[in-house]
Amino acid sequence: ADAAGSALRAGELALVELSRRQRDALKLLCRLAAGATLAVPGGLLPHDDIVGRPPGQLVRTAGGLKLLVRRPSLEEYALLMTRGATIAYPKDVGAMLTMMDLHPGDTVLESGSGSGALSLFLSRAVGSKGRVLSYEIREDHHNLAKKNYRQWRSSWEIGHIEEWPDNVDFIHKDITTAAEDMKSVTFDAVVLDMLNPQAALPVIRPSLKHGGVCAVYLANITQVIALLDRIRICKLPFLCEKIIDVTHRKWLIIPA
């Protein structure tokens, strides 16, 4: 639930967008701070005009532009936060979460962390009693994923009564060299978002529970074929349940 009064407060993230009645899409993410201003088309919007207001209100700039101000959803934060690597898009994340059938309390392995978008969705899915181990080989991506995760959590704690769970362990390491790390843990599910996911399969296999799901996020069919070839040639104990392409189309409805 939102904090008492539901007013936006300094220190939390706010989403500023053009009124839904206007066609031009504009969404800006900012962290509210006393005395700060946000540059918008046609002028500046002081953060002090936002702080203290309930989310969902229209704010008018000095130039007369109407802007809707509210708290961002996790989907919007993932799309607008700072990126170092291409994120797993929310439409695809939704499909993967469904395929993995995650529950509160589950333990999940992620490789790699990227910009931290998938890490956040996994964190919410497994809850305060669950755990996410997120491996990333690149130090810059590892650091950015941690930063984005912490920024979301700190903002959430200001605007909500219940805190966001601190359940993600970000590990700067090549997953293919982490066999020793895996011996003491059993994963309910694994998700791989990396250039060469087939190289990770022999490492994660002993720690994935029997019947557990390994979801692999791939950009093209060539990568899919390479993955299936490795499973077949190396006789790895994985069954390919399904390969899907998730489409997402926005509709613009204009009443006659």
Say if 249 falls within a structural domain.
no
Q: Are residues 63 and 166 in the same domain?
A: no
pLDDT at position 255 = 86
- Rounded Cα distance, 19 and 26, in Å: 9
Domain at 125, CATH number: 3.40.50.150
Say if 241 falls within a structural domain.
no
Q: What strands lie across the sheet with 107-111, from one edge to the other?
A: 168-172, 131-136, 107-111, 187-192, 208-216
Q: Are residues 62 and 97 in the same domain?
A: no
Domain hosting 141: range is 76-234
pLDDT at position 1 = 46
Say if 245 falls within a structural domain.
no
Q: Are residues 129 and 202 in the same domain?
A: yes
Q: Are residues 228 and 107 in the same domain?
A: yes
Tens digit of each residue's pLDDT (9 = 90 or more) over 8-37: 999 999 999 986 555 557 899 999 999 999
The list of the chain residues with pLDDT below 70 reads 1-5, 19-24
Say if 205 falls within a structural domain.
yes
Say if 254 falls within a structural domain.
no
Q: Are residues 117 and 87 in the same domain?
A: yes
Q: Are residues 189 and 215 in the same domain?
A: yes
**Which of 146, 145, 102, 148 is closest to 125 using CA atoms?**
102
Q: Are residues 161 and 204 in the same domain?
A: yes
Say if 45 falls within a structural domain.
yes
- What's the token pair of residue 71? 């708290």
pLDDT at position 4 = 43
Q: Are residues 59 and 82 in the same domain?
A: no
Say if 256 falls within a structural domain.
no
Look at the chain and report how many structural domains it folds into: 2
Domain at 25, CATH number: 3.10.330.20
Tens digit of each residue's pLDDT (9 = 90 or more) over 193-206: 999 999 999 999 99
Q: Are residues 93 and 168 in the same domain?
A: yes
Say if 5 falls within a structural domain.
no
- Rounded Cα distance, 179 and 192, in Å: 16
pLDDT at position 254 = 84
